[in-house]
Amino acid sequence: MHKVEIPQWATELALARRGKLHVHQNLDPAKTALIVVDLQNAFMIEEVAVAYVPFAVEIVSNVNKLAAAVRHTGGKVFWIKQTVDDASCLAWSEWLNMMRPHVRDGVVRNLAPGSRGHAIYAELDVKPEDEIVEKRRFSAFVQGSCDLPHRLRAQGYDTVLITGTVTNVCCESSARDAMMLNFKTIMVSDANAARTDAEHNATLATFYAIFGDVMDTAFLIERLEANASARVAAE
């Protein structure tokens, strides 16, 4: 598991701007969606990896705990799958053109729909009521990637919890874009995975200082359960 260290400058900046450590701690569980980014074999099983992230395997338990808590308190889980197909090869050709040929071939092969690499990692607890969304950019919220923003809005979700891999690539891209599309956005510090602690913490620090909130799994579950209970008591 990553050693999470949010630098003092990020905390001070967040406090100066917001006046509190956690600006989204009063999230409405019924309007909260857990977004699980790219926890696929292509990032978690070395023989089919396009980018092997060992830390990603270590966050599986926390992602499953969060998924159970979100469902229990009235929210929904969305599993996001990085996808490379003929259409995306054409529409996002510059990404592939930057790669060496053998790297590009591996990406196209192991992120193709139906491939072993494209599949969600088997230890993740995917339920029938969850939704699976294929994205075709790093961000799940940018134009041309997928219909996730439309799905969320159509179902009344205004808050997103970002988990998955890689922290400083697809997770960060998704989190920043979600915030800029007006979603309350929280990155989960111990349910994201990068290749190194340095990369992981750099993303969390910048996101926390400027873009949104950062919480760990235990705190988020406590908030979900407490807020759900308060809602029931008020009815």
In a domain, 123, yes or no: yes
As a whole number of angstroms, the distance between CA 146 and CA 138 comes to 11
Secondary structure, 3-state, 163-180: EEECHHHHHHHHHHHHHH
In a domain, 1, yes or no: no
Q: Is the pLDDT of residue 235 over 80?
A: no
Question: What is the CATH classification number for the domain harbouring 152?
Answer: 3.40.50.850
Rounded mean pLDDT, 202-231: 97
In a domain, 218, yes or no: yes
pLDDT tens figures, 6-56: 999 999 999 999 999 999 999 999 999 999 999 999 999 999 999 999 999
Q: What is the pLDDT of residue 232?
A: 80
Q: What is the pLDDT of residue 233?
A: 83
Share of the chain above pLDDT 70, in %: 100
In a domain, 3, yes or no: no
Domain count for the chain: 1
Q: What is the pLDDT of residue 49?
A: 95
In a domain, 77, yes or no: yes
In a domain, 2, yes or no: no
In a domain, 24, yes or no: yes
The range of the structural domain enclosing residue 83 comes to 8-234
- Tokens 């009815």 correspond to what residue? 235
- Tokens 């088997």 correspond to what residue? 122
Entry pTM: 0.97
pLDDT tens figures, 104-130: 999 999 999 999 999 999 999 999 999
In a domain, 38, yes or no: yes
Rounded mean pLDDT, 141-148: 97
Strands 159-165, 32-37: pairing kind: parallel
Q: How confident is the model at residue 88 (pLDDT cuts 50, 70, 90)?
A: very high
